[in-house]
Structure 1
Amino acid sequence: MRYMATYDMMETFRNTQQWLGATARTMASYPAFSVVPNPALEWMAAWGEVTERTFERMVVKPDWGIRTFTCEDGKDHLVNIETVVEKPFGDLIHFNVSGREEQPRKILLVAPMSGHYATLLRSTVKSLIVNCEVYVTDWHNARDIPVSAGKFDIEDYTLYLMDFMRHMGPETNVVAVCQPAPLTLAATAYLAELDPDAQPRTLTLIGGPIDPDAVPTDVTDFGARVTMGQLEETMIQRVGFKYPGVGRMVYPGLLQLTSFISMNSDRHSKAFNDQIMRVCRGEASDHDAHNRFYDEYLAVMDMPAEFYLSTVERIFKNCEIAKNEFVVGGHKVDMGKITRVAVKTVEGDKDDITAPGQCIAALNLCTGLPDDKKASHVEPGAGHYGIFAGKSWRNNIRPLVLEFIDANASEPKDKPKKKAANVNAA
């Protein structure tokens, strides 16, 4: 009950701040006060508006916001988000463009389960849906999953990915972003051993911690510094009575958000102060740059405790993927079993979360894969977010990834290619 009380205390604090913001905005906007304009009341209303929106967004899953798409025929086509595989902890969804011919490129975009919803990849999906059939792993908020659904750790995550790949078939091109990169590599290797005909055609790993010890960052230093006992004692709580997952052990989204903001507290503080002044001057709008960014950034989800703890212990502390010692259901997964899936890594030169060198380690693990099916790219000047959703992704990385996919699209599965696109550009 101690953990449950703490969880409810955080939710009570969030709810109270949202109520205070709404109250301040409503009171300061009282029509009678307009008779004698008062800058203090204008600031109070602006503070209330920003505060209410900020704390309200923390418990709301953002919408994908992809409703129509203009195809080559010049017409707007509806985009239907269809659930093709439904599971307790996450679904496989498809962005189906109505009335458009099926595109030859079939992409499985593996979204991270690291605090934010899969909608964090919204701009990535928009850029790929132009000429690809896009499928995304849509992970669920752990607070909404009943305890009866059981546990969910990194082994379960790997098995989920294998099921998704099996469903989509061998013509799939998998793109894993950040956190799921090592587990996606493991899922591909396990699938290559158990069901070779179901393995994907290509695998692109973007900014993932395949070998966290290759180049230290603040994230890896933190993982090495704290003990598992400390993490479990300070980060793990039980979901309160308000949600369907009552009693489930989780790493709460609100606690994760606190960690996110504390890393750059000065910058976030300035951003909110500036937004309050913009609201005061009437320069803000519902979809301005501040609100577009923070509506997504502040929307956090609870992570299953066993998934978070096993990620820290097995991926970062024990480096099981980097040492090729990862075990799923008692079976050791050998990355060397990947022999015909073309693998490409993408890293950002300025990535301070997954530094260059951590992701490219995947190529060395694929000992059974010919060099002409390996490729890598380091994007100059790009940070972590930029390599999958920013200008660097749109202008440079996306074309390279699609080129890599096309270069391996029509080659027979049992014959090696002569040359893959952008081979070892790093």
Structure 2
Amino acid sequence: MKYMATYDLMETARNTNQWLGASALALASYPVTGMFPNPFFQMMAAWGEVTERTFARMIARPDWGISAVTGKDGRDHSVTVETVVKKDFGDLIHFHVQGRDASKRRVLLVAPMSGHYATLLRSTVISLLPDCDVYITDWHNSRDIPVSAGKFDIEDYTLYLVDFMRHLGSDIHVIAVCQPAPLALAATAYLAAEDPSAQPRSLILIGGPIDPDAAATDVTDFGRRVTMGQLEQSAIQRVGFKHAGVGRMVYPGLLQLSSFVSMNADRHSQAFHDQILRTAKGEASDHDAHNKFYDEYLAVMDMPAEFYLSTVERVFKNGEIAKNKFIVEGKHVDIGAINNVAVMTVEGAKDDISAPGQCVAALALLTGLPDSKKAQHLEPDAGHYGIFAGKSWRNNIRPLVLGFLDANAAEKPAVKPIVSPIAAPALKSVGTAG
């Protein structure tokens, strides 16, 4: 029962704030308040509206909200979301574009399991749908997974990716965004040794911590400062009785959110202050820029405790991926075994989560892959979010990604491993913007 009380205490605080916001909005909206020419009531109603929405979003699972896509024929085609592979901790889902010929570009987007739902990549999906057949990993909220489903650590995550790749076939192109980049690399290496025919055509790693020590950030510094014992005591709690996963050890989404917000507390405070003023003036709307961003940003999910702790210990502290010492089910996953999967890395010059150098480190690990099948891109003015969404992604990175997919679309014979490692500085760079 330890930590269950603190889990429920956080939910109680969230629920209370949502209720306070709803109450303030209701009280300040009574018609009688119109008799008093005082802006207090408008401000009170605005505060209540913003507060209620803010705290309600924290437990809401966002919808994909993708109803149609315009095809090359100029017609709008309906989009349905279908579950292709269903598992306890996450599903493989497919965005089926009805009435459209099958696309030759088949893409598996590997979404992060880092506190937010896969819908964080909604804009990435929307940008790829007109030109690609898109699949994505849809991770579940751990508080809804019964304890009987067992554990889920980074080895299990890697094997989930292996199963998804096997199911989709060797003509798939894998794009891993942020946190799953090192595990997507490991999953590809696992297939290279165990089931070479199931390897994807290409692997694109976007802003992932392949080698966290290559460039320091607040995230890597935190990983070095805190011991595993301290982390387990301060971050891990048990799910309360209200949820199907009662008793499961998790890193709660609400606790993660408090960490996200604290990193840029001043900016978030100013954003909510401005939104309250806009709401009071009648200038806000249901889908304005503030609500569009925070409806997604505030929607958080619990992470399995074993996954979070093993990620910190094995990827960040021990650097098992960076040192090519990663083990899955007792087997060494040799990244050098990858010899015919084209690999591209994408980094943002202003990324303060996974700094430049962390992701491109993957290329030096690919000792069995020739230079001709490696590529890298550094986006000059992009931060972490910008390298997979927003203007930088749409205008610069997405065209490069599609070109890389096309260049590696055909099945090619395996290449014999290269004995000596290839240094990262000698690697090919594709279309660096700027």
TM-score, shorter chain, exceeding 0.5: yes
| Residue of structure 1 equivalent to 2:206 | 206
Kindly state the Cα deviation for residue 93 of structure 1 after the two structures are TM-superposed.
0.4
* Cα distance in 1, alignment partners of residues 374 and 263 from structure 2: 35
| Residue of structure 2 equivalent to 1:175 | 175
Kindly state the Cα deviation for residue 69 of structure 1 after the two structures are TM-superposed.
1.3
Kindly state the Cα deviation for residue 2 of structure 1 after the two structures are TM-superposed.
3.2
* Cα distance in 1, alignment partners of residues 310 and 415 from structure 2: 38
Kindly state the Cα deviation for residue 77 of structure 1 after the two structures are TM-superposed.
1.4
* 1:15-414 paired onto structure 2 within 5 Å: 15-414=15-414
| Residue of structure 2 equivalent to 1:422 | 430
Question: Are the aligned partners of 2:378 and 2:432 in contact in 1 as well (CA < 8 Å)?
Answer: no
State the one-letter code of the partner of 1:261.
V
Structure 1 residue matching 2:96: 3-state secondary structure: strand
Kindly state the Cα deviation for residue 200 of structure 1 after the two structures are TM-superposed.
0.2
Kindly state the Cα deviation for residue 135 of structure 1 after the two structures are TM-superposed.
0.3
* Cα distance in 1, alignment partners of residues 398 and 112 from structure 2: 18
State the one-letter code of the partner of 1:190.
Y
* Cα distance in 1, alignment partners of residues 215 and 234 from structure 2: 27
Change (3 A) 1:142 1:294: same
Question: Are the aligned partners of 2:339 and 2:414 in contact in 1 as well (CA < 8 Å)?
Answer: no
Change (3 A) 1:53 1:423: closer
* Cα distance in 2, alignment partners of residues 382 and 421 from structure 1: 17
* Cα distance in 2, alignment partners of residues 215 and 76 from structure 1: 44
Question: Are the aligned partners of 2:396 and 2:433 in contact in 1 as well (CA < 8 Å)?
Answer: no
Question: Are the aligned partners of 1:373 and 1:420 in contact in 2 as well (CA < 8 Å)?
Answer: no
Kindly state the Cα deviation for residue 33 of structure 1 after the two structures are TM-superposed.
1.2
Kindly state the Cα deviation for residue 73 of structure 1 after the two structures are TM-superposed.
2.7
Kindly state the Cα deviation for residue 420 of structure 1 after the two structures are TM-superposed.
8.5
* Cα distance in 2, alignment partners of residues 201 and 75 from structure 1: 30
* Cα distance in 2, alignment partners of residues 177 and 385 from structure 1: 10
* Cα distance in 2, alignment partners of residues 407 and 52 from structure 1: 49
Asked whether 1:6 is paired with 2:6, we answer yes
What is the TM-score normalised by the length of structure 1? 0.97
* Cα distance in 1, alignment partners of residues 432 and 22 from structure 2: 54
* Cα distance in 2, alignment partners of residues 408 and 421 from structure 1: 16
Q: Which runs of 4+ in 1 moved over 6 A?
A: 423-426
RMSD across aligned positions (CA): 1.5
Gap runs ≥5 in structure 2: 417-426
Question: Are the aligned partners of 2:28 and 2:45 in contact in 1 as well (CA < 8 Å)?
Answer: yes
| Residue of structure 1 equivalent to 2:423 | none
Percent identity of paired positions between Structure 1 and Structure 2 = 73
Q: Bigger shift: 107-116 or 31-40?
A: 31-40
Residue deviations 1:153-181, cap 9 Å, x none? 00000000000000000000000000000
* Cα distance in 2, alignment partners of residues 36 and 215 from structure 1: 59
